[in-house]
Amino acid sequence: MFGKEKIKENLQEKNIHELIYILGSYKEIIKRNFIAGISRGVGVGIGVTIITALLVMILQKIVTLNIPVIGEYISDIIDIVERSR
Instruction: Please report the pLDDT score of residue 51 as a whole number.
Output: 94
Domain range for 22 is 4-84
CA distance 24 to 16: 12
Residue 34: φ, ψ to 5°: -65, -50
Instruction: Please report the pLDDT score of residue 29 as a whole number.
Output: 79
- Phi-psi bin for 56: left (phi > 0), alpha (psi -120 to 50), beta? alpha
Burial class (CB in 10 A: 0-12, 13-18, 19+), 62: middle
Instruction: Please report the pLDDT score of residue 71 as a whole number.
Output: 72
Instruction: Please report the pLDDT score of residue 46 as a whole number.
Output: 97
CA distance 71 to 50: 23
Cβ atoms of 57 and 66 within 8 Å: the answer is no
Give, for all 85 residues of the chain, the pLDDT tens digit: 467 777 777 767 777 667 776 677 778 778 888 999 999 999 999 999 999 889 888 877 877 777 777 777 877 887 887 887 7
Total domain count, the chain: 1
